[in-house]
Structure 1
Amino acid sequence: MILAFYPSGLRPTSSEETNMAVGIFAGIAVRDFDSALEWYKRLLGAEPAFYPNDIEAVWQLAEDRHVYIIRDLGRAGGAVSMIWVDDPVAEVGKISARGLEPVDVEKHGSVWKYVFHDSDGNETGIGGEVSTTE
């Protein structure tokens, strides 16, 4: 299950504020659309939710939370993002079974981030809280 991600300073602090709608539509520029499409299918474990045109593919991670790839030669390779999940160890196990391995693991106390790089160098982290007994 993909959880909501609130950037530092934007996390709701009271019960009233938790009803605030938060959405994201994050893009990742790539050079070779067809190759990137196959890579992101393996990373995300699903076909895209839709294709707006022949150079974009969009995955819905959760309600109002999307990530997309777009062929854009001039901007490819500079994306840095993280997808917060409720069990990053299990999620990375599924990704590994689909043939992708993280290039690094960053551990910040109980929050771990597994780092993946596509062929353009875009970084996608899969992270979340990990039980301290692991």
Structure 2
Amino acid sequence: MTVDLFAGISVDDYAAAPDRCERLLDSPPTFVASETEAVREPGEHRSVFIEGRPEHAGHALHTVFVDGLDDLAAGLTARGLTARGLERAKRETCPNGIRKATYRAPEGNGIGVGGAPF
């Protein structure tokens, strides 16, 4: 069975969202679906769309697991996410040793990145 992921994030300020996403994912949108929706495909069968829907903004929380979590975190800092409105809100180590950092946008949406134990 093939499983595709198409995850959505509603934002209140669509004009600012593409810059934050590009800094987070280190790539421009894969395609722009409309004037208020952009889609990125971080991997095969995986898509994340950002949509300007202020009435629904602030409730998303998605987590991706990556190899090289420390390198990714350093890259996020180097790309200036904290200066562009995406702040690291929480860093934790789960009981099974998996590490996770959650970044939050001004409207409350959260993007978590996780990786292997130390």
Residue pairs, 1:109-124, within 5 angstroms = 109-124=96-111
Q: Find the residue that maps to 2:15 and give its secondary structure.
A: helix
The aligned amino acid for 1:104 is K
Partners of 1:60 and 1:45 in 2: how far apart? 12
- When normalised by structure 2's length, the TM-score is 0.89
Out of 91, 99, 104, the residue aligned to residue 90 of structure 2 is 104
Superposition CA RMSD, Å: 1.2
Deviation at 1:22, TM superposition (A): 2.2
Alpha-carbon offset, residue 118 of structure 1: 1.1
Write out per-residue CA displacement over residues 84-130 of structure 1, whole angstroms, 9 at most, x where no aligned residue: 11121111111111012522102114211111011211000011213
How many residues align? The count is 112
Determine which of 17, 34, 49 is the counterpart of 1:36: 17
- Relative to the length of structure 1, the TM-score reads 0.79
User: What does 1:1-134 correspond to in 2, within 5 Å?
Assistant: 20-101=1-82, 102-108=88-94, 109-130=96-117, 132=118
CA distance in structure 1 between the aligned counterparts of 2:97 and 2:81, rounded to whole angstroms: 23
Decide which structure has greater strand share: 2
- Structure 1 gap segments, 5+ residues each: 1-19
Over 2 Å off, 4+ runs: none
Quote the Cα distance in structure 2 between the aligned partners of 1:89 and 1:111: 12
Q: Percent identical across equivalent pairs?
A: 33
CA deviation after TM superposition for structure 1 residue 83, in Å: 1.2
Give structure 2 stretches of 5+ with no counterpart. 83-87
Amino acid corresponding to residue 62 of structure 1 in structure 2: G
